[in-house]
Each structure stands twice: as structure tokens, then as C-alpha cells.
């Protein structure tokens, strides 16, 4: 089943000491184009995410946003500078003794003094973080692909219904084309008969002229190729593989055969059918611009 190139997926989870949010969105693009928005400290995730996403996405302009929130204090160690604290205490007590003051020094007094505490940031384990982010990204990717597939079903139904219409019209043209030759032959016969009367009408000449005309307006090759293209189109739609670029080429070939059929058409009814088929092909072309 085909997939749309437009999609969105989102997942938020708390794993260990981290809350992780991953969002994936994409729009149409001829190739796979990837951009990532990650916190500055986690820039090493960009390339990992690009490869991770490419495993499930073959085409589209993809943007992945990652937010990582560490629970308060868990990414840092608080250390006491004992030497500095001891220096403060000794200096305060010496001053109290010299000034004849009461020694009422408490811990709450010490912790307010500068440089008593040092905050040491814990070095992140990059592999651990990637495992956590990839777990959340995997779920977001699952939602993203589901949305693409849902859109793909709608596109599939629309495209196949238009292919049915084109194929049905091809059948009508195949029936009308021989009738055009017969009508031309009768018009040619009537015209000659009007000029020369019923005497000495060269049946052989009329047959020759009709054969030349039939060759000029014959669309057998075009309709056979058009039916073949339609069959290939359906096979690609049902293949379950990324087929956007292949289908783009195929729709060009279908359009070429329809144009050639239109240039050969002598009957107004066939011309109208060609116009209808071109309109359906154009609508299919608009749809396939969004197929992965």
C-alpha cells in the first residue's frame, strides 16, 4: 500500500531521570531531506536520528524535534568545600574571641557563605541517552508512519478510481476507432458517387484511400501501451514499496499516449474522451506528488 509523504508523529515519555519529547513531521520532497532540532548539549543525536528515521522513510522533507528535561538535581552533584568552610569557621571564632562575642555559630550560618558549595555537573552517558531517545523516537515514528499510511489509503482509492475511468474510456475509444474508418469509407464512396454517379466507381481506389486513412488514425498501439501502463501503475500501487519516482515516470508515459491518441482523433466524441482522460491524468499527477 502506498504512503503519503505528509505525516506527523509525537511521543512523550519519562525514562529514568529524564522526560523526553520527540516530534516528527514531514512534507513533500523529491528526495529524503532531514533536519533535527535537539538541545545544544545533545547535538550528537542528530546523525543518529537521521539514520534511524531513514530506515522507515525513503522520501520527504523530514523534521525531528527532541526535547530532554532532566529531573531537578539528578544531573549534578553538590560537593562541600570543607577546607573553605573550615577556614570560615576558624576565622569567625577567632574574631568572636578577639571581640568578646558569644560563639553562636551554626551550620545555617556557614552554608550562606560564598564558595562553601560546589555544583559539579554529571557527565552524560551518550549511549544511555541515545537508547532512551531512540525508544521514544521509535514510538513517535510508529504514529508518524500510521498517519502516512492512513493518508495513503485515501490516495490509493482516489487514484485507482481514476485509473478505472481511464481504462473504461480506452475501451470505448477502441470500439469507436474502427467505426471512424468505416464512416470515412462511406463518406468517400458517397462523395465519389455524387460526382460520377453510379457508373464506374473504383472500389479498389476507395479501399486504398480508406486503408491509408485507417493507418493515419489507428490508435491500436497507443491504447495497447496505455493499458499496459495502467496495469503497471496498479502493480506499483500494490507493491508495498516506495514507488513515488517510478509512478512519476509512468504518468508521463500515459500522458504521452493520450496526447498521441488525441492528435489522431477524427471523431468529436473521441476528442472529448481524450480531454476527459487528460483531466483524470492531471488529477492523478497532483496526487502522486505526495506519494513516498
Domain containing 40 — which CATH number? 3.30.230
Q: What is the pLDDT, as a whole number, of residue 136? A: 97
- 115 domain-assigned: yes
Q: What is the pLDDT, as a whole number, of residue 96? A: 76
Q: What is the pLDDT, as a whole number, of residue 268? A: 84
- Strand residues in the chain grouped as ranges (E): 7-15, 18-27, 32-37, 60-70, 76-80, 117-121
pTM over 0.75: no
Q: What is the pLDDT, as a whole number, of residue 125? A: 84
Cell matching residue 111 = 552554608
Q: What is the pLDDT, as a whole number, of residue 95? A: 81
Whether residues 184 and 55 fall in one domain: no
Q: Could you tell me the residue range of the domain that residue 58 belongs to?
A: 7-71+125-148
Whether residues 168 and 101 fall in one domain: no
Whether residues 257 and 184 fall in one domain: yes
C-beta neighbour count of 175 within 10 angstroms:
8
Q: Find out whether 253 and 224 touch, Cβ atoms under 8 Å.
A: no
- 255 domain-assigned: yes
Whether residues 109 and 141 fall in one domain: no
Q: Specify burial of residue 286 (Cβ count, 10 A radius: 0-12, 13-18, 19+).
A: exposed
Whether residues 138 and 49 fall in one domain: yes
Whether residues 140 and 49 fall in one domain: yes
Q: What is the pLDDT, as a whole number, of residue 186? A: 62
Q: What is the pLDDT, as a whole number, of residue 155? A: 93
- Strand residues in 28-75 grouped as ranges (E): 32-37, 60-70
Task: Work out how many domains the chain is built from and give that number.
Answer: 3
- 19 domain-assigned: yes
Whether residues 82 and 174 fall in one domain: no
Whether residues 26 and 100 fall in one domain: no
- 142 domain-assigned: yes
- 2 domain-assigned: no
Residues of the chain short of pLDDT 50, as ranges, are none
Whether residues 137 and 11 fall in one domain: yes
Amino acid at each position: 500500500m502506498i504512503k503519503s509523504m505528509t505525516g506527523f508523529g509525537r511521543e512523550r515519555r519519562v525514562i529514568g531521570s529524564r522526560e523526553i519529547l520527540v516530534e516528527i513531521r514531514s512534507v513533500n520532497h523529491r528526495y529524503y531531506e532531514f533536519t533535527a532540532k535537539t538541545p545544544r548539549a545533545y547535538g550528537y543525536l542528530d546523525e543518529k536520528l537521521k539514520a534511524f528515521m531513514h530506515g522507515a522513510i525513503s522520501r520527504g522533507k523530514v523534521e525531528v524535534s527532541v526535547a530532554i528535561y532532566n529531573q531537578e538535581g539528578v544531573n549534578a552533584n553538590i560537593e562541600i568545600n570543607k577546607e573553605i568552610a573550615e577556614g570560615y569557621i576558624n576565622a569567625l571564632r577567632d574574631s568572636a574571641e578577639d571581640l568578646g562575642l558569644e560563639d553562636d555559630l551554626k551550620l545555617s550560618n556557614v552554608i550562606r557563605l560564598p564558595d562553601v558549595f560546589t555544583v559539579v555537573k554529571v557527565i552524560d552517558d551518550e549511549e544511555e541517552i541515545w537508547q532512551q531517545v531512540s525508544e521514544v523516537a521509535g514510538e513517535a515514528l510508529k504514529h508518524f508512519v500510521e498517519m502516512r499510511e492512513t493518508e495513503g489509503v485515501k490516495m490509493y482509492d482516489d487514484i485507482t478510481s481514476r485509473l478505472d475511468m481511464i481504462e473504461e474510456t480506452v475501451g470505448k475509444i477502441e470500439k469507436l476507432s474502427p467505426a471512424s474508418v468505416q464512416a470515412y469509407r462511406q463518406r468517400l464512396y458517397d462523395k465519389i458517387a455524387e460526382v460520377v454517379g453510379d457508373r464506374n466507381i473504383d472500389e479498389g481506389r476507395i479501399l486504398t484511400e480508406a486503408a491509408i486513412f485507417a493507418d493515419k488514425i489507428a490508435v491500436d498501439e497507443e491504447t495497447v501501451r496505455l493499458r499496459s501502463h495502467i496495469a503497471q501503475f496498479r502493480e506499483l500501487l500494490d507493491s508495498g514499496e516506495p514507488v513515488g519516482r517510478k509512478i512519476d515516470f509512468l504518468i508521463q508515459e500515459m500522458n504521452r499516449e493520450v496526447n498521441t491518441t488525441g492528435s489522431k482523433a477524427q471523431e468529436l466524441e473521441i476528442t472529448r474522451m481524450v480531454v476527459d482522460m487528460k483531466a483524470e491524468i492531471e488529477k492523478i499527477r497532483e496526487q502522486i506528488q505526495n506519494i513516498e
